[in-house]
Amino acid sequence: MLLPYILLMLLISFVLGEIIGPYIGNLVGSGVPQIEAVFLNENEMPWWSILWRKFIGGLLAICPGLMLGREGPCIEMGAMVGQGYAEAVFQSDLKEKRRLQQSCVAAGLSAAFSAPLGRCFFLSGRNYLQI
């Protein structure tokens, strides 16, 4: 049973490499440094491409038993959901886009830690809105 499991892990690793390959700089690691760079206007990320790749990649990694932290991906996916709403639904300016991103980052953080008050402390401790 060990050999089929190893082959399955190799196949999943190959598929993960193909999924994250085009946006490797924005998808590797936790995603928190990339989101901080977005808030500081040093990075711009395509929300839909990052969102689905992070979600599917996370499922492919965690379901068969590979290690994956949940906090960073929840934060990055939250920021991409906020950016998606700002761009596709509300057509917001940059300041409102950052507010939506920060709100969704806080919601992702709250969901990852199961701590609803954590998002309040996160938002009150960070001030990225000097645009």
| Mean pLDDT of all residues in 84-89 | 90
Q: Taking all residues of the chain, what is their mean pLDDT, rounded to a whole number?
A: 83
In-domain check, residue 98? yes
What per-residue confidence (pLDDT) applies to 125?
Answer: 54
What per-residue confidence (pLDDT) applies to 130?
Answer: 47
**Helix axes of 32-39 and 71-84: crossing angle, nearest 10 degrees:** 40
**What does the pLDDT look like over 10-55, one tens digit per residue?**
999 899 889 888 888 888 877 888 888 888 888 888 999 989 998 9
In-domain check, residue 18? no
Please give the structure tokens belonging to residue 86.
């700002």
Residues 36, 39: Cα–Cα separation, whole Å: 5
Quote the domain boundaries for residue 115: 31-125
In-domain check, residue 94? yes
In-domain check, residue 96? yes
In-domain check, residue 117? yes
pTM of this structure: 0.78
The burial of 114, by beta-carbon neighbours within 10 Å (0-12 exposed, 13-18 middle, 19 or more buried), is given as exposed
CA-to-CA separations, 42 to 33, 45, 68, in angstroms, rounded? 11, 10, 26
Domain count, the chain: 1
In-domain check, residue 25? no
In-domain check, residue 5? no
In-domain check, residue 16? no
What per-residue confidence (pLDDT) applies to 121?
Answer: 66
Please write down the HEC assignment for all residues of the chain: CHHHHHHHHHHHHHHHHHHHHHHHHHHCCCCHHHHHHHHCCCCCCCHHHHHHHHHHHHHHHHCCCCCCCCHHHHHHHHHHHHHHHHHHHCCCCHHHHHHHHHHHHHHHHHHHHCCHHHHHHHHHHCCCCCC
